[in-house]
Every structure is written in C-alpha cells, then in structure tokens.
Amino acid sequence: MAAIETTYRDAVRLALRDAMRDDATVFLIGEEVGLYGGAYGVTKGLIEEFGAERVMDAPISEPAIIGAAIGAAMTGLRPVAELMYVDFAGMVMDQLANQAAKSRYMFGGQIGVPMVLRTQGGTGRSAAAQHSQSLEAWMHHVPGLRLVMPATVNDAYHLLRDALRQPDPVVVIEHKGLYAAKGSLDVEAPDAPWGQPKLRRSGDDLTIITYSRMVLEALEAADQLAADGVSADVIDLRCLNPLDDALLVERVSRTGRAMVVTEAALTGSVASDIAARLQETCFDWLEEPVLRLGGEDIPIPVSPALERGSIPSAALIADVARWLVTREAPAWAA
C-alpha cells in the first residue's frame, strides 16, 4: 500500500478501525466515544461500523471506565479505554497503578491486563490549568505500565497498533495540538521498531532529545540553528517505556552536548530522568553538562499569551541550544 497524506486524528482513527477489523476482541469504551465520536473527533464513524457493543459510551465516571477495561482485559478482551483529558488520570491511578500495572507480576504471569488507555494532554487550546497538563511523568514512574507519545502521523498509527499487541497495559498520550497536523502515513512502514527512538535530524554540534509536540518545535529550532552555522541532532523518543537508549548514547557521545526538551513542568519530569541517564552513561564524552528545558512549574494559564509563554518554543529551544554550543547568551538574557 502506498503512503497517504492524512491528519494525526485520522491516523489514530484508522489504527483503531484496522485493529478492530483484525481482532474481534478489541473494543472501545469512554465518555462520548460512540454517538458523538470522541471529544476530539477521533472515533467518529466507528460506532456505525462496529456497533454499540464494541464502541461503548460510558457514564461520566473515569474510575468506572478504567475499572471495566481492566476487568475485560483480564478475561481475554483487548479494551481501548479513553480518558477525555490526561488531567483526569488522578481519578484512576489506583486502578491503573495498583491493579493494571501489577497484575501480571502478582499473578505469576497467569493473568495480564492487555489494555490500552488513550488520552490526550498538553497546551494550545486555552483550556486552563485543569485541562492542559502534561502528566506523562505520573505514568512513567509506575513499573508495569508502558507509555508512548507519538509526534508524527505515521507514529500515531503505528504506535497505537503496536500498543494493541502488547501483553501489558499501555498508556498512549496524544497531544491535543497535533490532531489537525498533516503528514505521511505508510501502514506498512513504522518510523522505528517498538521501544526505539527515531533520529529525525542529524547534526554535529549537539543533540536535542524530545517527544510529542516538542519534536516539531525542536525541528523548527534546528532550522534556525542551521542558519547560524550550528548543526543539531533531533531525536524523537516515541516510546518512553520501554526505551532503548542506545541511539541516545551513540549520538550524545558523538556530539558531546545534549539538551532534553519537554512541555511538562520541569521538576520531576521525564526530561529530568533522561538527562540523569545521559549524565551517567555519557559523562566521559560530554563537553557540557546535559541541559534540561521544560515547562514552567506553574498551573497552565488560560490566557493564550501566557499559555504560550509557559512552555518551550522553537525560538527558545534555538536560543538555549545556541548558548550551549557557543556560550553566547541571547540578547533577552543580558
């Protein structure tokens, strides 16, 4: 099948449709996933094809949705449970962290929980502090949970398809700012194997490591840096757990400089964990300490201008990367 041009939203929908056609045990459950088609339109049309028994509109109770999905998965089904916003994850962390993530271990491998939790996070819609967070670090901290955050249209399809083949629970966080993004989708060619990052751009002076929507900002920053003669790698983590860090070590050891970028609040972030890992594994090759760049440690503002200013932008990534290479501070920092 030839590659097609489509949107991130439609790639997720196609992944769900293909999985449901291939496997009769796959079903969807969540608030407004059926008749309404999902809060962001991802599941539109699926109830017409598969019926209300496989595209289930649930009551407004996140614990009920996740609890039902875990029970179904333990009986041999493959549920895809949708949380309308990742901000609601606090309501389901007992089911997710204490039940889904632990069951295979606690039952000696006899019972697993092969479910997928789809949700979305991030800023960009002025949805304020309770609907704009990046809470992937919560999931990243729990042994037994798998976690993926696709940045491209192709990964939006393939990482979800891969998630539905795993024997353990997988959390898929889609950035709300990416749903309308367009790109190429080849259903026969994933960007990289499950658990491996992808080198999106090759450079010589530093390595920028990031994931989700920040990949697009990092690539734009790399273009700005190139105009100034600074050559940057851009690595898309794709899978936060599992994560094969061989590519990270190889590229950082080569360039001698690394920065890890996240939209999430910096304290306790995935970026902090990756930076510590690189500092440990690449110490002998580093020209500078590994630098972290992330969101402000504040509730996300509702004001569009303040919201934009609370997270890294391409311009800020470029300024910080330029300083890391040249030690020349940008004008605004003087």
**What is the set of active-site residues?**
131
Give the Cα-Cα-Cα angle 22, 239, 64 (nearest 5 degrees): 65
Q: CA-to-CA distance for 192 and 60, rounded, in angstroms?
A: 37
Q: Please say whether the beta carbons of 7 and 181 come within 8 A.
A: yes
Residues in the chain: 334
The answer to whether 232 touches 208, Cβ cutoff 8 Å, is yes
Within 10 angstroms of residue 249's Cβ, the number of other Cβ atoms is 15
User: Which DSSP state fits 239?
Assistant: E
- What values do phi and psi take at 209, rounded to 5? -115, 130
Q: Which helix (H) or strand (E) holds 192?
A: none
In order of 111, 165, 257, 275, the CA distances from 292 in angstroms are 39, 33, 12, 7
Q: Euclidean distance between the first and final Cα of the chain, in Å?
A: 54
Q: At what angle do helices 153-163 and 8-22 cross, to 10 degrees?
A: 30
